[in-house]
Amino acid sequence: MATLADDELLSLQSELDAFDPADVHAALDGIGQHPLCGPDVDTGIVASGPLDFGSGAPGILIYRTEAGRVRIRITKALITGGSYDEIEVADASVRGLVAALVAKLTA
């Protein structure tokens, strides 16, 4: 499958950003075996950490880390300043992962 264009990634980001980041994070649980995600999708967190108050707005960010790899960053606002978690998937799986998350969030 061809690498997704930046505008496609932005469109997928907008789909997820319509939901509360805490809900998107919660939706990650249980979709690892979802058939739309593909057999090689690991929804385990690859990066996470706290954010200083005001250093990042809550929301979803989808970006490319290297050819063929995409990260989804979920930033949640908390009274203590906020936190983020990231998952990384292959380019070929990101559409399926977003579709699975949206399906779970709208169910």
To 10 degrees, what angle do helices 6-17 and 91-106 make? 20
Token pair of 62 as six digits: 């989808």
Q: What pLDDT score was predicted for residue 11?
A: 95
Which pLDDT tens digit goes with each residue over 16-60? 999 999 899 888 876 755 555 555 555 566 766 666 655 567 899
Mean pLDDT computed over 84-105: 87
Nearest to 41, CA basis, from 101, 84, 83: 101
Taking the complete model, does pTM exceed 0.85, yes or no? no
